[in-house]
Amino acid sequence: MLLTGFDDSTSGEGKNNPEPRLLRIQAPEVLPNDVKANLRGCFIIAEAVGRLNKERADVRLVSLSCIGRNGQAVIDTTVKGFVTDSDSKVGLSGRVVSKMGAATARAVVADIFGGAGDALQASSLTQSTSALGTTTIVDSDQLAKSAAGGGLAEGSKNLQ
């Protein structure tokens, strides 16, 4: 039985820093060669890492601690193992919570400001074509408009 809830990171940072878990054994254990051990009530410390591609948390066992009726530690040892969910698959199933909505909204706003800046800057420019080529001229009356448009466009690129 899992005694602690969890929110596992699936990014690179989360893989290098597994989250701790506390589990409690609820039933007699069946060991190799059909040997049974009564570890009911013992605690297991485990660590978990989120796996986005599986929508699961991979849980690895770390230590097992059991206390006898007199309060003395009977078992306190490191263990190796894994956890399966009720669907018998390795790892605990979870619900993926994405925090990309806010980032997407900021990108859309930045795009809108960038487009407005480009339009403002373009509206302040005059192009003339001659035999020597095309020249772009900024009218001195439109200088502030062009600067504001260029600033909006560049600022939005940095935001993106």
Q: Are residues 51 and 81 in the same domain?
A: yes
Quick check: is 137 in a domain? yes
Q: Are residues 109 and 130 in the same domain?
A: yes
CA dist 27 and 10 (Å) reads 32
Q: How many domains does the chain have?
A: 2
Domain of residue 52 covers 12-93
pLDDT of residue 63: 94
pLDDT of residue 41: 87
pLDDT of residue 58: 85
Q: Are residues 72 and 138 in the same domain?
A: no
CA dist 10 and 60 (Å) reads 16
pLDDT of residue 129: 77
CA dist 45 and 65 (Å) reads 8
Q: Per-10-residue mean pLDDT for the chain, 160 residues long? A: 75 68 86 84 88 82 87 84 87 74 66 67 69 70 65 62
Quick check: is 3 in a domain? no
- Residue with token string 């009530």: 41
Which amino acid does the sequence have at 84?
Answer: T
Quick check: is 5 in a domain? no
CA dist 51 and 93 (Å) reads 10
Q: Are residues 106 and 47 in the same domain?
A: no
Q: Are residues 20 and 86 in the same domain?
A: yes
Q: Are residues 79 and 22 in the same domain?
A: yes
Which H or E element spans position 136? strand 133-138
Query: Which residue, of 40, 66, 93, is where some domain finishes?
Result: 93
Q: Are residues 122 and 70 in the same domain?
A: no
CA dist 9 and 96 (Å) reads 10
Do 96 and 63 touch, CB atoms closer than 8 A?
no
Q: Is the pTM of this model over 0.85?
A: no
Q: Are residues 79 and 111 in the same domain?
A: no
Query: Which residue, of 93, 111, 132, is where some domain finishes?
Result: 93
Query: Which residue, of 74, 93, 112, is where some domain finishes?
Result: 93
